[in-house]
């Protein structure tokens, strides 16, 4: 089994567990405000990563980074935690969890588009065809025009997806040019502390530090912080050494299937026929976008992109 396949399997396995905690979060958000849930899960993830990085792995504090290298964890932290995590959770408050997952999984296509300009990673023809097919699934998935509340949720998720795609390309760019400066774990830790600390402080001031949540909701918060944020971020940064940014993002689109299946028994949602067809079209596009793994490019110059 080559490194590419191992990275792909590791990422898909992680996405399954991330999908599970997202579905559980949808249930808890009926009882917990979005902002409160968001800063608490970030606090859990930050504490977990700090302990894992500096206590378990005994990594030293990075003292040798240049200003250019520091800008990466700062930008990734602000984009991914100050902005993306709130926008995606806020959108989940207005949308069914399956629709939310479906929209989030277009991040691979946005990542592909941004990678052309940010990384000069030009996609193969089949990947472009796959992207167009995946986009066409939108017309099937939304059988009728979304209502006002859903449009608000869609706008929030779309904004979050853009910044998430930007984050993916920043991580890939850092791993290509500066991977020797920071490990994937240290990059994740710095990013979540830098981007999450302002939200944590704001949350503690506005919400206070005493909460009367049910044990189930606390477990969901911890699961989202540790699995949905910390472990997913570590794995994503790790596989970015092998996978291109849009490849990793598109593989992560398997989450829409996991969420759709898990949401039926957990959140009581149903997948209508048009939603199933829309998801199937998305997955077909994902499959085509991955065919470059087995097809050799006609232009050898693409090998170095």
Q: What's the pLDDT band for 79 if we cut at 50, 70, 90?
A: very high
The structure tokens listed for 247 are 């490849």
Backbone angles phi, psi at 60, to 5 degrees: -75, 155
Cβ atoms of 228 and 104 within 8 Å: the answer is no
The structure tokens listed for 270 are 């149903």
The structure tokens listed for 237 are 């940064």
Mean pLDDT, residues 222-248: 82
Candidate ranges 137-146, 150-159, 259-268, 281-290; pick with highest mean pLDDT: 150-159
Q: Mind giving me the DSSP string for 70-99?
A: HHHHHHHHIIIIIIIHHHHHHHHTTS-HHH
> What is the spatial distance between Cα 258 and Cα 15, in angstroms, rounded to a whole number?
8
Q: What's the pLDDT band for 298 if we cut at 50, 70, 90?
A: very low
Query: Which residue shows structure tokens 């249930």?
Result: 27
Q: Where are the alpha helices (DSSP H) in the chain?
A: 3-28, 34-50, 67-77, 85-92, 97-104, 107-118, 125-141, 148-178, 184-207, 215-223, 232-239, 245-251, 255-266, 273-289
Candidate ranges 185-194, 259-268, 273-282; pick with highest mean pLDDT: 185-194
Provide the Cα torsion 203, 207, 209, 210; round to 10°.
Answer: -150
The structure tokens listed for 69 are 């290298």
- The length of the chain is 305
On the question of pLDDT at 261 being above 60, the answer is: yes
The residue extents of the domains of the chain are 3-121+144-263
Q: pTM for the full model?
A: 0.76
pLDDT of the residue at 45: 95
Q: What's the pLDDT band for 209 if we cut at 50, 70, 90?
A: low
How large is the angle between the packed helices 273-289 and 97-104, nearest 10 degrees? 20
Cβ atoms of 11 and 235 within 8 Å: the answer is yes
On the question of pLDDT at 280 being above 90, the answer is: no
Q: How far apart are the first and last CA of the chain?
A: 24
Q: Mind giving me the DSSP string for 232-282?
A: HHHHHHHHTTTS-HHHHHHHGGGHHHHHHHHHHHHT-----HHHHHHHHHH
Least confident of 31-40, 91-100, 208-217, 244-253: 244-253
DSSP label at 298?
Answer: S
> What is the spatial distance between Cα 132 and Cα 106, in angstroms, rounded to a whole number?
11
């Amino acid at each position: 089994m080559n490194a590419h396949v191992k990275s792909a399997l590791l990422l898909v396995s992680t996405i399954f567990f991330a999908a599970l905690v997202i579905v559980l979060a949808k249930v808890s958000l009926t009882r917990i405000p979005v902002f409160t849930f968001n800063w608490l899960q970030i606090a859990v993830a930050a504490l977990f990563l700090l302990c894992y990085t500096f206590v378990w792995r005994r990594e030293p504090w990075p003292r040798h980074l240049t200003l250019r290298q520091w800008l990466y964890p700062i930008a990734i932290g602000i984009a991914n935690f100050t902005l993306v995590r709130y926008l995606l959770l806020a959108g989940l408050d207005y949308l069914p969890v399956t629709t939310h997952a479906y929209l989030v999984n277009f991040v691979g296509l946005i990542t592909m588009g941004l990678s052309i300009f940010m990384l000069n990673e030009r996609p193969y023809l089949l990947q472009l065809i796959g992207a167009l097919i995946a986009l066409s699934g939108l017309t099937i998935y939304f059988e009728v025009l979304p209502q006002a509340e859903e449009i608000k949720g869609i706008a929030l998720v779309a904004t979050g997806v853009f910044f998430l795609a930007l984050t993916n390309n920043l991580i890939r760019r850092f791993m290509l040019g500066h991977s020797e400066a920071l490990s994937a774990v240290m990059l994740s830790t710095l990013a979540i502390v830098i981007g999450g600390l302002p939200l944590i402080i704001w949350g503690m001031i506005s919400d206070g530090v005493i909460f009367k949540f049910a044990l189930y909701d606390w477990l969901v918060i911890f699961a989202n912080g540790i699995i949905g944020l910390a472990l997913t971020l570590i794995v994503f940064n790790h596989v970015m050494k092998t996978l291109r940014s849009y490849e990793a993002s598109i593989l992560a689109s398997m989450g829409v299937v996991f969420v759709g299946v898990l949401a039926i028994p957990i959140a009581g949602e149903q997948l209508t026929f048009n939603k199933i067809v829309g998801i199937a079209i998305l997955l077909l596009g994902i499959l085509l976008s991955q065919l470059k793994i087995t097809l050799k490019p006609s232009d050898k110059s693409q090998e170095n992109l």
